[in-house]
């Protein structure tokens, strides 16, 4: 309820910006120039195409190389989702990637490595905000997963109402945080439990499992597999089924299903941030992340 | 606990009647003539056959044309279930339909269309009472689903301990409320989550899904499919397995599994009624129901 | 948190012993001779082999004839698990049976038949303690189920992180308490719900279902079936995958998944004991157990 009230209470785009920057700004909110709502908006990292004839927006992520969720990118996602949320003519949102082979590689590790606690807190607040906005969206949301989707990429998919994945065995999806020596927080866990149940989640989170599309379908992590070139068109067709349902009945039902999970983070946001910052700034965790980054560099070379 | 105490505390059939009529009677409970308990009781809309040799009662719904759950019919169901509940020699209850092609079409829309708030409240209280009685029954209960079972019909099936459905692809089952622009309340949702899990419920309730028998079996909405002419005989055979378990151990176990869900409605009955009445008497919702009724009339013609 | 604090707070093996005996000793804790930690320890009923090169301990149950969980045996299990838990070089625990055809036959019925309430309370406290230790273990735990595993044997398996069962159709596994006229308590139920979900648990507990290995795999009660002679070797191979995950990330994740369930027993231990003692010492329940024991005797003869 708090969340919805919060969403409704916002009069413009300043909401998310002020909130995301509040850790730094000590309460002073800089004035923000707000572009007028357009049917199609393009920022550096996000391309949104809204088709008024279908009431459906397609949001394409284009943050090279692998749509890593940096603070800046998360902020852009939040702004764009909020903009669509407030446009009552937009009833459905499809999220997909404009980058080859990857939906999103998840949270940007560079945002968690060698950063001040303040910066880490700001980053984590943006991760929370992205999840809150998407998981509580009044729009029908579909993830068109046209590439690999580990960690935060998987979380983003899990916030949607429906998940269609490219049937390419090279792609994987899963909350694999433990592999990096870090831990998925309770609301990542809650979101996964809500989707695939407790036991699959326990196994997946402990072992940091990344599933092939076929395995992901089997455990219910995604709802449908289609050939790679049909991911978006299938998402469009599927969306028309969702939009055949009266909005108010669907929205009340969605809120009834998700509200307890959303409320749990809403009433624990600050402690969750403190918990994250305390954990991520530990010497041992920083060392793990450093080693992981080294490994990534070597792989590229 | 409250519920069980409440059930035990009742000394006769006046319990349910007084409760169901209490909204109208402002506390005055009319004296009710109670027929003595018989092994076989037949009302206009319910036929109960209780076989003392097997300790099993079969309750046949015969409310033409499609066993719609009107206030009157719900009240009869409650009276009959309560009667059997208090007869300690009755250990098992099989619920089935005497109408062709349909188990129950669900809540009677005429009870929700163009009615006073008081009448809507009375109706909703009866729906709650039916669910409470069946979901908390000390008897082993089996739904012999010999026809389509949408909405309230599905809910009635879900209250049972076991569901056997006719394997006829023309039949469907599901909580399809959103299709009509209305919303399954939290305790419908809880009952479905308890049966098929969170994700299947989220998908089914948002989209108002009606499942074929084969699909219903796959997601766990029913437990077994049999040819149409074997639904009742299979239910009888299955019941004998349930009655092979010592009653007290089975009953304590059933209560342990279901009590939290039952308590949730028990402690929110009034607010749930208010919520229903507020929603159903809205102009937009009444308009939706009116259009739906028009469509049904045209279909018949 | 309480549990973990409790585990960390213990300085030696006296913890479990004093706790287990506290109902009888009225606060006086007898001094206990503690054997020094060895890599391999053998008591009468438990054989522990700890391989420092792999960091994995194998605990073999050898309590003839069928590894029944008596008070003495439970106490030995707790002592051995606690010993390994405190040895930071031990990262993984495999639990298996040294007895032919049976993993564990479950709680020793002789501990519940014709005993004083005080003794019953002491016994139940030990059952709780075994579950608490295993379900909250910081080690990765695998059940190598090389025989039948009813009731308490199934519970012990369910506490582990992973279950590998011998693919022998003669073996069964399940919480079949109702068959004996007794009832699985809420934390048995919670553990099963966490593993196989609510509906499968409701059905299994009410009917006291014992599953074949194939059925157990299908509903998720076990994770993997292998030929009987490969149960232990498969457990060893599987353990190496678990130990490839950084301990701290895996442990925090495990605790996040299981803490609510553990806390629920921790804050209801005394009432759970009272409840058990009240139930098990009833005349009707004692009679049921007596009949069951008679039947077992006749079977043997």
DSSP string, C37-76: P-SEEE-SSEEEEEETTTTEEEEEE--TTTT-B-HHHHHH
Average pLDDT of chain C to the nearest whole number: 88
Residue A99 has pLDDT above 70, yes or no: yes
| Distance of residue C72 Cα from the nearest chain A Cα, in angstroms | 32
Residue B21 has pLDDT above 50, yes or no: no
pLDDT value, residue B133: 98
Which residue of chain A is at minimal alpha-carbon distance from B182?
A249
- Which residues have a Cβ under 8 Å from the Cβ of B23 and sit 6 or more positions away? B118, B121, B122, B125
Q: Which two tokens stand for residue C174?
A: 């399940």
A241 forms beta bridges with none
pLDDT value, residue C44: 85
Q: Which two tokens stand for residue C27?
A: 């606060």
Residue C41 · residue C35 · CB < 8 Å: yes
Condensed to tens digits (0 to 9), the pLDDT of residues A172-220 reads 999 999 999 999 999 999 999 999 999 999 999 999 999 999 999 999 9
3-state secondary structure chain A: CHHHHHHHHCCCCHHHHHHHHHHHHCCCCCCCCCCCCCCEEECCCEEEEEECCCCEEEEEECCCCCCCECHHHHHHHHHHHHHHHHCCCCCEEEEEECCCCECCCCECHHHCCCCCHHHHHHHHHHHHHHHHHHHCCCCEEEEEECCEEEHHHHHHHHCCCEEEEECCCCCCEECCHHHHCCCCCHHHHHHHHHHHCHHHHHHHHHHCCCECHHHHHHHCCCCEEECHHHHHHHHHHHHHHHCCCCHHHHHHHHHHHHHHHHHHHHCCHHHHHHHHHHHHCCHHHHHHHHHHHHHHHHHHC
Please, which pLDDT band fits residue A4 given cuts at 50, 70 and 90?
very low
Please state, in angstroms and rounded to a whole number, the distance separating the CA atoms of residues B127 and B134: 11
Cα dihedral across residues A159, A160, A163, A164: positive or negative: negative
Chains near A with 3+ CB pairs less than 8 A apart are: B, C
pLDDT value, residue C42: 65
Q: Which of B196, B241, B250 sits opposite C199 (nearest CB)?
A: B196
Q: Do C203 and B223 touch (CB under 8 A)?
A: yes
Q: Chain B residues contacting C, CB < 8 Å?
A: 161-162, 193-197, 220, 223, 241-242, 245-246, 248-250, 252-254, 256-258
Beta strands at C46-51 and C40-42: parallel, antiparallel or unpaired: antiparallel
- Of C261, C171, C152, C156, give the one whose Cα is nearest residue C216: C171
pLDDT value, residue A127: 98
Please, which pLDDT band fits residue C89 given cuts at 50, 70 and 90?
very high
Please, which pLDDT band fits residue B296 given cuts at 50, 70 and 90?
confident
Q: Do C198 and B256 touch (CB under 8 A)?
A: no
Percent of chain A with pLDDT over 90: 82
pLDDT value, residue C296: 86
How far are the Cα atoms of A150, A176, A185, C254, C257 from residue A205, in angstroms, in the given order?
Answer: 12, 7, 10, 8, 9
Q: Which two tokens stand for residue B269?
A: 């009955």
Please state, in angstroms and rounded to a whole number, the distance separating the CA atoms of residues A93 and A162: 11
Please state, in angstroms and rounded to a whole number, the distance separating the CA atoms of residues C59 and C56: 10
Q: Which two tokens stand for residue B176?
A: 């399809």
Residue C22 has pLDDT above 70, yes or no: no
Burial of C119 (0-12, 13-18, 19+ CB in 10 A): middle
Prediction pTM value: 0.87
Rg (CA), chain B: 18
Percent of chain C with pLDDT over 90: 82
Residue A11 has pLDDT above 70, yes or no: no
A107 is catalytic: yes
Give the 3-state secondary structure of residue C158: helix
pLDDT value, residue C301: 78
Lowest mean pLDDT among A43-57, A100-114, B23-37, B191-205: B23-37
Buried b (16+ CB within 10 A) or exposed e, A263-299: eebbebeeebbeebbebbeeeebbebbeebeeeeeee
Q: Which two tokens stand for residue C16?
A: 């479990």
Please state, in angstroms and rounded to a whole number, the distance separating the CA atoms of residues A32 and A18: 9
- Of A155, C226, C82, A194, give the one whose Cα is nearest residue B193: A194
Residue A161 · residue A254 · CB < 8 Å: yes
C chain contacts of residue A184, beta-carbon cutoff 8 Å: 253
Over residues B99-106, the mean pLDDT reads 98
* CATH architecture of residue range(s) B46-300: Alpha-Beta Complex (3.90)
Please state, in angstroms and rounded to a whole number, the distance separating the CA atoms of residues A201 and B161: 27
pLDDT value, residue B299: 85
| Distance of residue A264 Cα from the nearest chain B Cα, in angstroms | 17
Please, which pLDDT band fits residue B41 given cuts at 50, 70 and 90?
low
Average pLDDT of chain B to the nearest whole number: 88
Torsion of CA B245, B248, B254, B260, to 10 degrees: -170
pLDDT value, residue A42: 65
The answer to whether the bond into C65 is cis (omega within 30° of 0) is yes
Please state, in angstroms and rounded to a whole number, the distance separating the CA atoms of residues C121 and B158: 38
Residue C23 has pLDDT above 90, yes or no: no
* Residue bearing the bigger pLDDT, C41 or C225: C225
In chain C, where the domains are located: 46-300
A176 is catalytic: yes
How far are the Cα atoms of B30, B99, C209 from residue B14, in angstroms, in the given order?
Answer: 9, 29, 39
| Distance of residue B187 Cα from the nearest chain A Cα, in angstroms | 11
Q: Token pair 């992973």 is at which residue?
A: C162
Q: Where are the beta strands (DSSP E) in C167-258?
A: 173-174, 224-226
Annotated active-site residue in C176, C205, C209, C210: C176
Condensed to tens digits (0 to 9), the pLDDT of residues C205-238 reads 999 999 999 999 999 999 999 999 999 999 999 9
Please, which pLDDT band fits residue A301 given cuts at 50, 70 and 90?
confident
* Residue bearing the bigger pLDDT, C22 or C293: C293
pLDDT value, residue C252: 97
Percent of chain A with pLDDT over 70: 86
Torsion of CA C67, C73, C74, C77, to 10 degrees: -90
| Distance of residue B276 Cα from the nearest chain A Cα, in angstroms | 13
Residue C150 has pLDDT above 70, yes or no: yes
Over residues A13-41, the mean pLDDT reads 35
Cα dihedral across residues A99, A105, A109, A111: positive or negative: positive
Residue B167 has pLDDT above 90, yes or no: yes
Residue C168 belongs to what H/E stretch?
none
Q: Do B196 and C201 touch (CB under 8 A)?
A: no
C176 is catalytic: yes
Burial of B188 (0-12, 13-18, 19+ CB in 10 A): buried
Q: Do A197 and C197 touch (CB under 8 A)?
A: yes
B134 is catalytic: no
Please state, in angstroms and rounded to a whole number, the distance separating the CA atoms of residues B205 and B176: 7
Maximum alpha-carbon separation in chain B: 54
Torsion of CA A49, A52, A54, A60, to 10 degrees: 10
Buried b (16+ CB within 10 A) or exposed e, C254-268: bbbbbbebbeebbeb
How far are the Cα atoms of A122, A274, A281, A295, B247 from residue A117, in angstroms, in the given order?
Answer: 9, 9, 7, 25, 60
Condensed to tens digits (0 to 9), the pLDDT of residues A272-298 reads 999 999 999 999 999 989 998 998 889
* DSSP helix, strand, coil percent of chain B (3-state; round to 5): 55, 15, 30
* Residue bearing the bigger pLDDT, B102 or C23: B102
Annotated active-site residue in C92, C106, C147, C152: C152
Over residues C114-119, the mean pLDDT reads 97
Contacts of range A192-195, beta carbons closer than 8 Å, 24 or more positions apart:
A192/A158, A192/A221, A193/B198, A194/A257, A194/A258, A194/A261, A194/B198, A194/B199, A194/B202, A195/A158, A195/A220, A195/A221, A195/B198, A195/B199
Percent of chain B with pLDDT over 70: 86
B chain contacts of residue C207, beta-carbon cutoff 8 Å: 241-242, 245
Which residue of chain A is at minimal alpha-carbon distance from B198?
A194
Q: Token pair 């009987």 is at which residue?
A: C228
pLDDT value, residue C39: 52
Chains near C with 3+ CB pairs less than 8 A apart are: A, B
Over residues A252-261, the mean pLDDT reads 98
């Amino acid at each position: 309820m708090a969340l919805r009230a919060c969403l409704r209470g916002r009069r413009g785009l300043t909401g998310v910006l002020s909130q995301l920057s509040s850790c730094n700004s000590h309460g002073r909110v800089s004035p923000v120039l707000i572009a007028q709502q357009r049917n199609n908006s393009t920022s550096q990292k996000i391309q949104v195409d809204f088709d008024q004839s279908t009431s459906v927006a397609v949001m394409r992520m284009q943050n090279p190389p692998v749509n890593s969720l940096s603070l800046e990118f998360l902020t852009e996602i939040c702004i764009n989702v909020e903009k669509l949320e407030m446009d009552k003519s937009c009833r459905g949102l499809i999220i997909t990637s404009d980058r080859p082979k990857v939906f999103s590689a998840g949270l940007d590790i560079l945002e968690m490595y060698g950063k001040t606690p303040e910066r880490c807190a700001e980053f984590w607040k943006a991760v929370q905000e992205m999840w809150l906005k998407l998981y509580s969206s009044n729009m029908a949301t579909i993830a068109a997963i046209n590439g690999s989707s580990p960690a935060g990429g998987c979380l983003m998919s899990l916030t949607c109402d429906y998940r269609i994945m490219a049937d390419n065995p090279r792609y994987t999806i899963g909350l694999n945080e433990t592999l990096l020596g870090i831990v998925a927080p309770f609301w990542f866990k809650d979101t996964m439990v809500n989707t695939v149940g407790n036991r699959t989640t326990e196994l997946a989170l402990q072992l940091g499992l990344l599933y092939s599309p076929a395995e992901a379908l089997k455990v219910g992590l995604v709802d449908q597999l289609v050939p790679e070139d049909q991911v978006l068109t299938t998402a469009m067709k599927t969306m028309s089924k969702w939009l055949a349902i009266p909005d108010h009945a669907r929205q009340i039902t969605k809120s009834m299903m998700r509200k307890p999970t959303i409320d749990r983070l809403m009433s624990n946001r600050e402690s969750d941030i403190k918990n994250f910052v305390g954990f991520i700034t530990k010497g041992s965790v920083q060392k793990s992340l450093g080693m992981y980054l080294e490994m990534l560099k070597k792989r590229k070379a």
